[in-house]
Amino acid sequence: MAEALPSSFTVMATGQIEAAEIPGCDNAYLKFQMTAGEDWQLLDGLEEGITQAARVSQGPEKLLVWNYPLDLTYKTTNAYGWPQLVVSVYGLDSFGRDVIKGYGCIHLPTCAGRYTLKLRLFKPRSASGVQSFLAWMSGMPAEFSDPRFPSYGEGREVTRVESAGAVLVQLNVLTKDMDVFGYTDGSSHKSAHNVIRQL
């Protein structure tokens, strides 16, 4: 008897949000959300979460270490809307107010393997010096109304931002049955251990 073809392919990612390098930030916590296309269904894991607050390490690297675990399994029939990890980092300003330190977004790797990703952070800039001063005084710097905005393509080209450091993420990715749907993940042509740096 012929074996039935699968009705979807599966992408599984495990790992951790390890740490962040944010200049001038002594303590912070991170909120994350996963975004994916309409055809993607989360089978297992959390689509959003929040880390504990971390203080900057005393070593020479000055890292904010979270080591927050990630464990996600998705299924879909097409690659459109490939899952993205969206992060928002919050910390305290000089007056002890909770303010945004940076946003970032990265697609999950499309090939099976082990990855160390460097997710660049950015934050919106005020439109003028006066707005920047008023934002500092009120403790409400410019921020996005939707924390998933970094994962959207539309509207980003007109957004003024500044660099705000980086988050280090370690992921192990497995895929299943992608070839049945006409996708090649390249895992048979590469070693099991891949290291990628996002520039």
Predicted confidence (pLDDT) per residue in 40-99, tens digit: 999 999 999 999 999 998 888 889 999 999 999 999 999 999 999 999 999 988 778 888
List pLDDT tens digits, range 106-135.
999 999 999 999 999 998 887 777 777 777
Q: How far apart are the C-alpha atoms of 62 and 20, rounded to whole Å?
A: 9
Q: How far apart are the C-alpha atoms of 50 and 48, rounded to whole Å?
A: 7
What is the token pair recorded at 13? 């990612």
- How many DSSP H helices and E strands does the chain contain? 1, 10
Nearest to 64 by CA among 166, 170, 198: 166
DSSP reduced 3-state for 136: helix
What is the token pair recorded at 70? 């990630």
3-state helix, strand, coil in the chain (%, to 5): 10, 45, 45
Amino acid residing at 66: W
Q: Which positions ≥6 away from 68 have C-beta within 8 Å?
A: 16, 17, 30, 32, 49, 51, 52
Per the CB < 8 A criterion, the answer to whether 163 and 23 are in contact is no
Amino acid residing at 160: R
What residue has token string 């993940």? 185
Question: What pTM was estimated for this model as a whole?
Answer: 0.84
* Mean pLDDT along residues 20-39: 94
The β-bridge partners of 166 are 21, 120
